Every structure is written in C-alpha cells, then in structure tokens.
C-alpha cells in the first residue's frame, strides 16, 4: 500500500458544470484502488430532490457511493436546498443563512482513520455564502473557509472556449486566498473540442500547479464510473 498521511482535498472548478463531481468520484476511485480509506463530502448543495428521507443531492449521493467507507448522508451533505440556484440565494429566499458551523461539524465527524477526504465545492472558487454586502473581508465566501481549514485544492478546468481566462483567474484567486493549489485536472465536457491540445499547452505554462489528469468525454455513466480514475495521476500527491 502507498504510504500517506491523512489528506483532505477540496475539489473546485472554473465554473459550475465543469466536471467537479466526475473528478471527485475519480479521485475517490483512484485512492480506493490503492487500498486507502476514503470518504466524500458535499458540504453545500442546491438543486436537491425531495425524497421520503429528505432532500437528496445527486452529486452528494455519488460521492457517498464512490467512497470506501459509508457515512450518514447528513454528514456528507449537511446543507442542502431544493431550488437549483446559488445556495446563498436559496437560503435567503427561505429566510435562512448558511451556517458554516454545520460544515465544521460534518468535517469533525469524519473518522480519524480515514486517509483521504474528498470535499466537493459548489459552483466556482469564490462561492458566496451570504447576502451581506457590508462585509469588509472575504468571510462571506466559501473559499475563505477552505483556506482557513488548510485544505489542499484541485482545480477542475472544463476545456472549452473561455476556459483559459477562467482557469488563470481561478488559480490566481486560490493563491491569493492562501490556499494550497496542488494541481489541476482538465475535463472534456464534449467530444471534438477545437484547439484542445493548444489550450492544454497554454495552461501548462500559465498555471504553476501541475496537470494531474485529462478526463475525456464519457458517452455513458457506466464507462465514466468504470474508467475515470484511469485518467488521473495522483502518485506524487498521495505519496507525500
């Protein structure tokens, strides 16, 4: 088994719908194949389905399924909203506010013997968690919580027109937050992406963090679940 200290890695993206969940599940699968004990968390979610057991988020359920150790759903996804909109707006519309104490409690309930905790963000890096426009610091952004908890960060870049600017700005914002960007992963949202190789080459130069994988477009869920981990290389990170 590859030796590793307990690691907590936060998966963020250049935007919403760029493949954070695909990558998060692939990271879990990669670590599972090494025999590591893993769990996945989706602390804040929106666009949930109301079921007989409460609100359930598709991304959170997938993380729960791909982890090697089963956690109660309320630990995996402590903050959930049914409306498919920005979580802080969904909270505001319900007369609530997002309470990060719930996220802290969720993280504290991860068993001590877990070797890899994968935490998937919502939207992009600077996810607002408050409607308060009077804040003079960045405490109204979820990214501040990530930095304060000293989580490692992997940036998912959806390779498409406009991704170069989004990726460079996101990497700069992560660095400015004081968080540790350990790498980035390219994800293909479609087939036959124009100038794919040139965009990857540009980002390899522009981003200081290493490329940790190139995820192709998967035509089926079965193929995605079976093969996505094969396109990652986390050897250096997990051996530290």
pLDDT in tens, 183-240: 999 999 999 899 999 999 999 999 999 999 999 998 887 888 788 999 999 988 988 7
DSSP-derived secondary structure for 164-188? HHHHHHHHHHHHHHT-EEEEEEEE-
With a cut of 70, which residues of the chain have pLDDT below it?
Answer: 1-4, 133-139
Residue 2: the pLDDT is: 52
pLDDT in tens, 41-52: 999 999 999 999
CATH class of the domain defined by 7-238: alpha beta
pLDDT in tens, 196-210: 999 999 999 999 999
Domain assignments of the chain as residue spans, ordered by start: 7-238
Q: Which of 42, 105, 224, 226 is catalytic?
A: 42
DSSP class of residue 83? S
Residues 6+ apart with CB under 8 A from 179: 10, 143, 146, 147, 150, 151, 153
Residue 223: the pLDDT is: 81
Residues 6+ apart with CB under 8 A from 146: 10, 12, 121, 153, 177, 179
Could you tell me what percent of the chain has a pLDDT over 70?
95
Does 42 qualify as catalytic in the annotation?
yes
Q: Which residues of 190-204 are buried (b: 16+ CB within 10 A; e: fewer)?
A: eeebeeeeebeeebe
Residue 137: the pLDDT is: 55
């Amino acid at each position: 088994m590859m030796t590793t200290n307990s690691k907590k890695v936060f998966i963020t993206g250049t935007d919403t719908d760029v493949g954070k969940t695909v990558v998060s599940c692939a990271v879990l699968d990669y670590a599972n194949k090494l025999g590591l004990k893993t769990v996945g968390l989706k602390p804040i979610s929106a666009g949930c389905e109301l079921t007989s057991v409460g609100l359930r988020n598709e991304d959170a359920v997938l993380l729960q399924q791909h982890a090697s150790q089963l956690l109660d759903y309320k630990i995996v996804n402590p903050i959930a909203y049914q409306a498919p909109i920005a979580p802080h707006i969904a909270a505001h519309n319900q007369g609530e506010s997002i309470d990060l104490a719930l996220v802290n409690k969720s993280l504290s309930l991860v068993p001590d013997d877990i070797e890899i905790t994968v935490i998937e963000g919502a939207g992009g890096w600077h996810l607002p968690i408050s409607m308060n426009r009077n804040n003079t610091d960045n405490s109204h952004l979820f990214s501040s919580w990530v930095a304060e908890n000293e989580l490692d960060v992997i940036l998912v870049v959806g390779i498409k027109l406009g991704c170069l600017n989004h990726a460079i700005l996101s990497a700069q914002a992560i660095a400015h937050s004081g968080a540790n960007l350990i790498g980035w992963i390219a994800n293909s949202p479609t087939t036959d992406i124009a100038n794919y190789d040139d965009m990857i080459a540009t980002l390899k130069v522009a981003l200081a963090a290493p490329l940790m994988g190139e995820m192709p477009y998967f035509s089926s869920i079965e193929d995605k679940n079976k093969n996505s981990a094969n396109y990652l290389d986390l050897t250096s990170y997990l051996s530290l």
